[in-house]
A and B are shown apart, each in its own frame.
Chain A
Amino acid sequence: MSVASLKSFYEELKRRRVIRVATLYVVAIWPIIQLLDIISPALEIPESVLRYLVIAFFSGLPFALILAWIFDLDRDGVHLDDGQAHEPFLGSRTDLTLVAVLCVLVVGLFLVQVSLEDDSLVENGSDDGSIEQRELVRSTPEVVAPVSDNSIAVKPFDSFSENPRDQYFADGLSEELLNVLARVPELRVAARTSSFAYKGVNRNISEIGRELSVAHILEGSVRANDIDNTIRVTAQLINVESGQHVWSETYTHQYSDVFKIQDEISGAVAEKLKVTLFAGKTTGSGTRGARSSNPEALIAFGRGQQELSRRSKDSLLAAASYFETAVAEDQNFALAFAGLCDAYTLLVSYEYADRDEFLIKARQAVDRALELDPELGIAWASKGLLESQYPDKKELARSLLKKAMKLNPSYAMAVMWYATLIEDDGEKMQLYERAVKLDPKSPVASYNLASMYAVQGRDAEVMTLFSHIVESDPNYPKGYELVAQLASRNGRIGEAIRHFERAYELSEDLNYGVNVSKLYADIGDFEQSDIWYQKLAGGVPEEYKNRVLWFRIGRFVGAKDSQGVTDLLRKIEQTHGGDLETEYDRLLARYYLGDRKNLVRDYDVALASGKTFTHQDEYIKEFLPEVQIVVASQLESEGESARANELLASAEATLRENLDNPSRHWPEDWYGMARIYAVRGQQQQALIHLQRAVDEGWREHWRPGFDPIMQTYESNPVFVTMMAGLENRLTIIRDQFEMEAEFAMGF
């Protein structure tokens, strides 16, 4: 097509007013779409309806153009185009007026939307107002702090680059800003874990502010120019309630001047929030040691922080590695040294690393951090965590953590670690709640609070926090442990297995694997129990080996493998240790092996040996009654009823205390009570308590067959019915696992 014919076609389009119709059509529907977008959340119009309407509006455009081409609208009305020029229906002045009115409407609606959305100028932020988002806001746990005017969250700055290094640099810059602001005593600064949870997330400012309970949000972007080695940082401070920009500024500097940019931004924020930076100090060398201007160090530091929050072995090792890189890049980077100390210490705390070696490395790291910046609260918290690993330094740890909280009142980890050292449950709980308020998206803060609730039997609150943990980080293993424990204690074995398995997959923590192996044995799936046991072989710490062997016995009793049972009991019987637990384990093994001749004497010898329990509290509540009951049973058979009754009374007192404790829900305690009544010969009470054990969630159906005390009831019809009912429940669980296996295998 020649230029002349194109021009002629364009003239024809103009003559038939096709272009004008197109312009008017688009300008007319724009305000309609905007209006619908604004009012749809209030009217709860589904997004799909809006989508269809937009599609419908645009589908109409071709028809309008075709109609404009075919028909002519002039002052005589509508008629087929006859190729002649007519006086238009609307004069050009009216036409322009209409466009102007529509333009005003567009601008007006745009402004209304800006004020409603709060974050219209955010490069990556817009709220689609979906129901799902509102649901998430509602699901935030009840532990929410009142919003203080002097509260702020630093949203991770965006990077205008596809290069992940630049994004980590932007993260590092954001984190540095967060740390600088966190030093201001009058400011409450949302913790890193929580504010960084919004990295790259399309959520509007008012929602973020509400979820983090802050009045202001600092956000921005970083554009790196590798050619002239400069960075351009845009920062803006937004009031959450009004959505207004309190302040915004763009800075362009050399990479090496990153401190200057941080100081200028934090200075501006402090001025706007009417607080004084650094408690009256200037941004001198006293604080600069915490920070780094080295991009590589900042990048490694950002990655280290991300890994540190998950607390699994892999993530803690990765965190340590990143912090090592950060301090190698910048040997004056105090925050990275503090992070390194945390990673090393937590590896020891979770028993993932050699204690002596890693605690020495942790001390070197934190000493360097404090040498670089003696006022760095985060480093004092790291030192407190480190000292808390030594049983004789708890007091020192508490004072260090107190100092950390004073220097940096916004640092949730300091509060949380301090809470772990507090004896008083009420104070401990308040501190855990405060940690969650400071860092609502931190899985570990929520987990600690949930664990505290679990100890107090507040299962509903545990479940609320569990949901919150899963939403914040679906890969945080300890969240699943919470539910697994809860399910296990309530006889929900299938659920417990699934959640322990998930926790193990995410962390490879042997404790979870041990539980999985035991629970599979309890439901009678010996193959799976063996598979899991093999996975753990060799990895169980020495002090827990007997415990695992006792778990294992259930598997062989259930499978009616008496030789397997005997072999395990012999193994336990031959263990040697310096504590009373081991002596009692050996005694119990002999009892179940039928070697009871010297049982009472050996019990007395163990008691008189002066040996003590290694895990006293746990053992006395959970295992000592069992020892007392079997020794009492032996005494009864030897005609020593008076002494037998003494031991039974002691065991009963312990179990009743356990049962009266509303926060302790162990169905095994009811089984213990059933045994006490059985030794006393009170059959009905024994069966009633056994039934209670079943009702409360006791599922070790193999035990009575292994237990000489309960074996006497094996032919009792009530007992038989009870065990059949229990077996039926376990069959249903096995059946469900089989169904899951069928789905997994593809039928």
Chain B
Amino acid sequence: MNLLAICLLILMSFATQAKDVNDRRDAQPEGLVKIAVLRGEVEIEGWDRAEIEVKGELDELATDLRFEVKDGVTEIEVIMPRHNVNWADGSDLVIRVPFQSKVAVDAVSTDIVVEDVRGSLQLRTISGEIKMKGGRERMNLKTVSGDITTEDTVGRLQASSTSGDIDISNHEGDFDGESMSGEIDVVAKDVSRMRGSSVSGKVSVKVGFTTEARAELTSVSGKIVVRVMKPIDLSLQVDSNSGDIDNDLSDDKAFEMFGMKSLRSQIGKGSGTLTVRSVSGAIELEEG
């Protein structure tokens, strides 16, 4: 019996988690959910209930969790001490929200994962990564030193990282992406507005444009590779100060003027405009 008691005590101590959280609140199906997590990982999943659920573990140094619903706005915040934020394990939360919720996440050293949330999204972290699947409206994703990865999104997608890579696959709709030293890799269709900009990272897009689309891709020293899906109906304006321009979209070749290389070309009726500029990076244009 003593042995049994010891085993049970030890196991009970294992099972006890002082900072576990498991809470649920009623919420509007299309309400706004604001989430603030200083560090750790937060996973946000859409579900078909008019409820918001928060599960997982809080930061080792968290003092509290604020979980309030008021006037259609839900606020979830891991409260941290302002002056004692030693390096500790961060929060690890899974938050379930109604499918159509609008979600805003404000984080610092936090990885953000979002799946099946169909309202507008604003995800901001500093040194964490952002992964998203299945966004449907306006999506604004920002990180400083982390990567951004999205798949199966429809709508207007904006992604920005300073030193991280941006990898967008299977997107339908407009896209705006910026990175400084990271690479931008986009596969998108039904694009009427596109902008991709990097300083030293490679910009690579495979894109299907709508008619009268406007697209601008720029880089200072990074290579730019554009693969355009058929049908193609574009005016091309391509310039580079010192990088090579390799055009397989039409028969036109780049020419040199005032020490710059330029390409002007019309494919189809030329209804849309594709502007590509680099200072020293090479530019490649081909059919996708």
B195 contact set on A, CB distance < 8 A? 729, 732
Residue A725 CB within 8 A of the other chain: yes
In contact, B279 and A692 (Cβ under 8 angstroms): yes
Q: Does A63 contact B (CB under 8 A)?
A: no
- Chain B, 152-166, contact with A by CB distance < 8 Å: what is the 0/1 string? 000000101011000
Chain B nearest CB from A343 CB (Å) reads 15
A 670-711 to B, binary, CB cutoff 8 A, 1 in contact else 0: 000000000000001100100110011100000000000000
On chain B, the residues within 8 Å of A196 by CB distance are 86
Please name all residues of chain B whose beta carbon is closer than 8 Å to the beta carbon of A499 when the two chains form the complex: 144
* Contact pattern, A 729-747, Cβ under 8 Å of B = 1, otherwise 0: 1001000100110011011
Chain A proximity of B153: nearest CB distance (Å) = 16
Q: Shortest distance in angstroms between A650's beta carbon and chain B's nearest beta carbon?
A: 23
B109: CB under 8 A from chain A? yes
A22 at the binding interface (Cβ < 8 Å): yes
- Which of B1, B108, B140, B145 lies in contact with A463, CB distance below 8 A? B145
B8 touches A688 (CB 8 A): no
> Interface size for chain B: under 10, 10 to 19, 20 to 34, or 35 or more residues?
35 or more
Decide: A688 and B7 in contact? CB cutoff 8 A.
no
Task: Return A741 CB to nearest CB of chain B, in Å.
Answer: 11
> Using an 8 Å CB-CB cutoff, how does the interface string of B89-107 with A read, 1 for contact, 0 for none?
1101000000000101000
Interface size on A, residues (CB 8 A): 67
- B31: shortest Cβ distance to chain A, in Å? 9
Q: Is the CB of B4 within 8 A of A26?
A: yes
| A6 located at the interface, meaning its Cβ lies under 8 Å from any Cβ of chain B in the complex | no
B83: interface (CB < 8 Å): yes
Instruction: Let me know if A202 and B180 touch, CB within 8 A.
Output: no
Instruction: Report yes or no: B86 in contact with A199, Cβ–Cβ below 8 A.
Output: yes
Q: Are B88 and A470 in contact (CB under 8 A)?
A: no
Which of chain A's residues have a CB closer than 8 A to the CB of B102? 743, 747
* CB <8 Å contact, B83 and A306: yes
Asked if A197 and B86 sit within 8 Å, CB to CB, the answer is yes
Q: How far is the CA of A37 from the CA of B271 in the complex (A)?
A: 63
Complex Cα–Cα for A697 and B34 (A): 33
- Which A residues lie within 8 Å of B86 (CB)? 196-201
Which one of B35-43, B44-52, B248-256 is at the interface?
B35-43
Q: Is B117 an interface residue (CB 8 A)?
A: no
Task: Check A130 against B109 for contact (C-beta < 8 Å).
Answer: no
Residue A389 CB within 8 A of the other chain: no
B120: A residues at CB distance < 8 A: 739, 743
Contact assessment for A492 and B180 in the assembled complex, using a CB-CB cutoff below 8 Å: yes
For the residues of B in contact with A, the DSSP-based class is mixed
A19 to B4, CA, bound (A): 10
A197-B144 CB under 8 A given contacts A26-B7, A466-B127: no
A471 at the interface (CB under 8 A from B): yes
Q: Give A584 Cβ to nearest chain B Cβ, in Å.
A: 31
CA distance A493 to B258 in the complex (A): 30
Scoring B residues 1 to 17 as 1 if CB is less than 8 Å from chain A, else 0, what string do you get? Answer: 10110011011001100
Contact of A474 with B4 at beta-carbon distance under 8 Å, contacts A307-B83, A688-B258, A747-B32 already known:
no
Q: Which residues of the other chain, B, contact A106 by a CB distance below 8 angstroms?
A: 7
Interface of A: prevailing SS: helix
Interfacial chain A residues near B21, Cβ < 8 Å = none
Among A471-495, those with CB < 8 Å from B are 471-475, 483, 486-487, 490, 492, 494-495
Apart from A30-B11, A467-B145, A736-B158, what are 5 other A-B pairs with CB-CB below 8 Å? Answer: A202-B60, A466-B145, A474-B38, A695-B277, A743-B122
Interface residues of B (CB under 8 A from A): 1, 3-4, 7-8, 10-11, 14-15, 32, 34, 38-41, 60-61, 71-73, 82-90, 92, 102, 104, 108-109, 120, 122, 126-127, 138, 140, 142, 144-145, 158, 160, 162-163, 176, 178, 180-181, 195, 199-200, 216, 218, 220, 239, 241, 258-260, 275, 277-279
Question: What residues make up the interface of A, taking CB atoms closer than 8 Å to B?
Answer: 19, 22-23, 26-27, 30, 33, 54, 58, 99, 103, 106, 130, 132-133, 136, 196-203, 306-307, 310, 315, 441, 459-460, 463-464, 466-467, 470-475, 483, 486-487, 490, 492, 494-495, 499, 684-685, 688, 691-692, 695-697, 725, 729, 732, 736, 739-740, 743-744, 746-747
A-B contact pairs, 30 of them (CB 8 A): A26-B7, A54-B14, A58-B11, A99-B3, A103-B3, A130-B89, A199-B86, A200-B88, A201-B60, A203-B89, A310-B83, A466-B127, A470-B109, A474-B39, A474-B85, A474-B108, A474-B109, A483-B162, A486-B162, A490-B199, A492-B178, A492-B180, A495-B160, A499-B144, A696-B220, A732-B158, A732-B176, A739-B140, A740-B122, A746-B32
